[in-house]
Amino acid sequence: MRAPPSLVLLATAAPLEASDASAPDAELKVLGLGLIERAGLAAGRAGYNQVFLLGRAHSARPGIVTIPDWKSLADVLSVARAASLVIAPAAILAETDWLEKLAAMQVERAAWAAIPRRLIVLAAAVVPDAVALLRVEDGAHDIGAVEERLTHRFGPPAAVPREIDPIPVVTSKDIRAAERRLLRALIKNTDGFMARHVDRHISLQISRRLAPTSVKPTQITMLSIAIGLCGAPFFLSSVWHWQTVGALLFLLHSIVDGCDGELARLKFQESRYGGILDFWGDNVVHVGVFACIAVGWALASAVTWPLLLGAAAIAGTLGSAGFVYWRQMRDRQGAGPLFTSVSSAPDDHLARMLDVATRRDFIYVVPLFALFGKSSWFLILGAVGAPTFFLLLLCLALRERAQSRPRATAR
């Protein structure tokens, strides 16, 4: 197994527009995190062994080893297991995606690869020789000087794949570009049409403004749950305008519910507790809405059978939630999403259908029904759809279990 790479950030020159130019270790911030801090968190998430900040007069940061020069780095690496080395200026937007791709690169034949003025990857075999070269004559203090010495010693670098495209951040214009890039990365492939083209446009702008603050993702989750539960009692009324108010609060809950995950990913604050709170809070809101629609319908019509529809919708919702939690979330540890798909088989038609059913686009029918005073139609859909979804989940699980059993060999 290959040893995980290490990352070296060259911080000898201060960014052009640091927030406090008088500070010796001033750095630009992008969506609430300094570039160096973000690099340390992103590299840790990508599985890097260590992150070094090379430069004098820089304060310590969690997860980052501050070293004054290349000699000190050589001393540290001499006792470490041989691994590749990634070198980049500190004023670069570190992202987990391209850091992971760099870690998987094979550069042994060419010794090193580079994106000029932005990124260098050293093969494990040449790291000791390269670091020794970089430390002579007072050391190479910027990425250009590093490239020049390596070219003289090892020849021209190999090309880095084009999909790896980190961007430098040194001006306010660069900050805006970096923010747009990070926000675009939050859009999921599993987002439905309305979620992608409506919800995300709103939630991303909210998250963008919350990122520089001290607001926590779990606080946004609690706010989202509160909004949804506040909307549920409006469905007790049979009057269309009260139902519409409840439907709009239900929709707002869905939009705000996207902000907690966005904020957590932007600031590397994903947690098991936050994921579970978000998952169950969303289902509690759905249960509250179904219950209030059923009770309101029963009171308005002076019959009890709508309560049976409510019970069916609630049972299907809680059954599906409990199944997903038990099967995919209960034993998950650490950071990152707790639940991504109902199945690991992307070519499975049933699994794709169930994944589509979990998307939030259906919420947009609730305001349409409410405008005509017909929120009860949403309950009917829930009473049929939620139990059906639960039964299909069970069928999918049973089929996957049967397929995973070893087949008996013919004698």
3-state secondary structure 156-200: CCEECCCCCCCCECCCHHHHHHHHHHHHHCCCCCCCCHHHHHHHH
What are 196-225's pLDDT values in tens digits? 888 899 999 999 999 999 999 999 999 999
- Does pLDDT of 337 surpass 50? no
Same-fold call for 6-159 versus 186-404: no
> Mean pLDDT in the chain?
85
Nearest CA to 14 among 161, 229, 207, 171? Answer: 171
What are 81-139's pLDDT values in tens digits? 668 899 999 999 999 999 999 888 887 666 899 999 999 999 888 888 998 898 887 77
Q: Could you give the 3-state DSSP secondary structure of residue 11?
A: coil
User: What are the structural domain ranges in the chain?
Assistant: 6-159, 186-404
Residue 398 tokens, joined: 């049973």
Cα 53–Cα 10–Cα 108 angle in degrees, nearest 5? 95
| Range 287-301 average pLDDT | 96
Distance CA(80)–CA(70), nearest Å, equals 15
pLDDT at 69: 86
* CATH class of the domain defined by 186-404: mainly alpha
- Flag the least confident range among 10-19, 83-92, 117-126, 266-275: 10-19
What are 217-246's pLDDT values in tens digits? 999 999 999 999 999 999 999 999 999 999
- Does pLDDT of 12 surpass 70? no
What percent of the chain lies above the pLDDT cut of 90? 53
Q: Residues 6-159: name the CATH superfamily.
A: Spore Coat Polysaccharide Biosynthesis Protein SpsA; Chain A (3.90.550.10)
Structure pTM? 0.84
